[in-house]
A and B are shown apart, each in its own frame.
Chain A
């Protein structure tokens, strides 16, 4: 399974990014290969509109199965996420990526 995180950096110790559409990075953890990879999403800072839908499309193209994030996607992005079938877990905004992953494993995050 590919787990995606919205993050401020590219490592396990990076802080989570509470935002969805304009998150700085998307981290993908493959729990079979145990590899953590990153996608630079900083271009979204320059989008006038539609950062949410675009980031949702990026997640789909990164083949994410589940998303762990802070506040969760807004209306337009949520519509795209629904189409992608990616599960969304929120409430990990104030954590590092590692802590967010642990919270996810313990079932402490809220599934939207």
Chain B
């Protein structure tokens, strides 16, 4: 079963929930936690394990060969992202802007734009007691998170059993990286906070999940600050509120020390138990 932990707003507690839930669930069954928030992966700060595997990840970009180029202009006209620019008898390529669609390369009449590999980041796989942890990190200066996210999800598909619990710590927001991270999962946990900002971005995330026809539920973190508008919104929209995590200085302290919170605070563990029960319910329904 594939579960994504996502949010509209950043900083609501995706990683806190992902690392704690993954470790907690691994006490019952085999779990893989995959951090695909590749622009700033941080689940690894909370998971100790032994390095199992490491690989560089590449995307394909065009490489201009000027000898045969007829400067027809097909390449720059077809590029939606202006990664190929023609200045007179010079073709400039901006690898960071390239989405690896191959259009310029395929439509070049003189085959002057063969596709070549470009490193964009790195994938690592760690193993700790009963928990596999996979993390991908985009190289500094790279702009395209999607190719790295999609290749990391493929790595999970190829190396782990579909029947085990696969948790994906996703990027925040509602743009392409989030779509890529959530489009193939069975369930999405949307983490939010009870503030106007949290509610606004939750609405955006919910709209996105509706368009993707996803099954989803909400975990409300830092309950006690702000107001009850998020709860009222979930009730009005019939969105399951799976867990409620109190705003607590003890949680912040444990987090800051790089500790797993459920091992320190029974109250937090109870909320993970609620989430586990909910997941089991969904599994039974399927």
Query: CB < 8 Å: which of A47, A51, A80 contacts B92?
Result: A80
Q: Is A19 on the interface with B (CB-CB < 8 A)?
A: no
Is there an interface contact between A49 and B90, defined as CB atoms closer than 8 Å? Answer: no
Is there an interface contact between B87 and A60, defined as CB atoms closer than 8 Å? Answer: yes
Q: Is A57 on the interface with B (CB-CB < 8 A)?
A: yes
Q: How far is the CB of A8 from chain B (nearest CB, A)?
A: 22
In whole angstroms, what is the CA distance A76 to B94 when docked? 7
In whole angstroms, what is the CA distance A54 to B82 when docked? 6
In whole angstroms, what is the CA distance A60 to B81 when docked? 18
CB-CB under 8 A from A60, the residues of chain B are 87-88
CB nearest to A84 among chain B residues: B87
The count of A-to-B residue pairs whose CB atoms sit within 8 angstroms is: 43
CB-CB under 8 A from A57, the residues of chain B are 76, 82, 85-87
CB nearest to A48 among chain B residues: B81
Is there an interface contact between A50 and B87, defined as CB atoms closer than 8 Å? Answer: no
Interface string of A41-77 (1 = CB under 8 A from B): 0000001111101101100100000000000000010
- Contact A50 to B90, CB < 8 A, known contacts A56-B85, A57-B76, A80-B85: no
CB-CB under 8 A from A79, the residues of chain B are 92
CB-CB under 8 A from B143, the residues of chain A are 49
In whole angstroms, what is the CA distance A20 to B213 when docked? 39
CB nearest to A54 among chain B residues: B82
Is there an interface contact between A53 and B94, defined as CB atoms closer than 8 Å? Answer: yes
Interface string of B69-83 (1 = CB under 8 A from A): 000000010011111
- B: interface residue count bin: 10 to 19
Interface string of A81-96 (1 = CB under 8 A from B): 0011000000000000
Give the number of chain A interface residues (Cβ < 8 Å): 15
CB-CB under 8 A from A50, the residues of chain B are 79, 81-83, 94, 97
Q: How far is the CB of A87 from chain B (nearest CB, A)?
A: 15
Interface of A is mostly: helix
- Contact A76 to B97, CB < 8 A, known contacts A50-B81, A53-B82: yes
Query: CB < 8 Å: which of A48, A53, A56 contacts B80?
Result: A48
CB nearest to A60 among chain B residues: B87
In B29-83, which residues have CB < 8 Å from any A CB? 76, 79-83
In whole angstroms, what is the CA distance A6 to B90 when docked? 24
CB nearest to A83 among chain B residues: B87
Is there an interface contact between B92 and A53, defined as CB atoms closer than 8 Å? Answer: yes
In whole angstroms, what is the CA distance A84 to B83 when docked? 17
In A16-58, which residues have CB < 8 Å from any B CB? 47-51, 53-54, 56-57
In whole angstroms, what is the CA distance A84 to B90 when docked? 10
CB-CB under 8 A from B76, the residues of chain A are 57
Q: How far is the CB of B122 from chain A (nearest CB, A)?
A: 23
In whole angstroms, what is the CA distance A48 to B96 when docked? 13
Q: 3 tightest CB-CB pairs across the interface, nearest first? A: A50-B82, A54-B82, A49-B81
30 CB < 8 A contacts A-B: A47-B81, A48-B80, A48-B81, A49-B81, A49-B82, A49-B97, A49-B143, A50-B79, A50-B83, A51-B82, A53-B85, A53-B94, A53-B97, A54-B82, A54-B85, A56-B85, A56-B87, A57-B76, A57-B85, A60-B87, A60-B88, A76-B94, A76-B96, A76-B97, A79-B92, A80-B87, A83-B87, A83-B90, A83-B92, A84-B87
Beyond known contacts A47-B81, A80-B87: 14 more, CB 8 A cutoff: A47-B82, A48-B80, A49-B81, A49-B82, A49-B83, A49-B143, A50-B94, A53-B85, A53-B92, A53-B97, A54-B82, A60-B87, A76-B94, A79-B92
User: Could you list which residues of chain A lie within 8 angstroms of chain B, going by C-beta atoms?
Assistant: 47-51, 53-54, 56-57, 60, 76, 79-80, 83-84
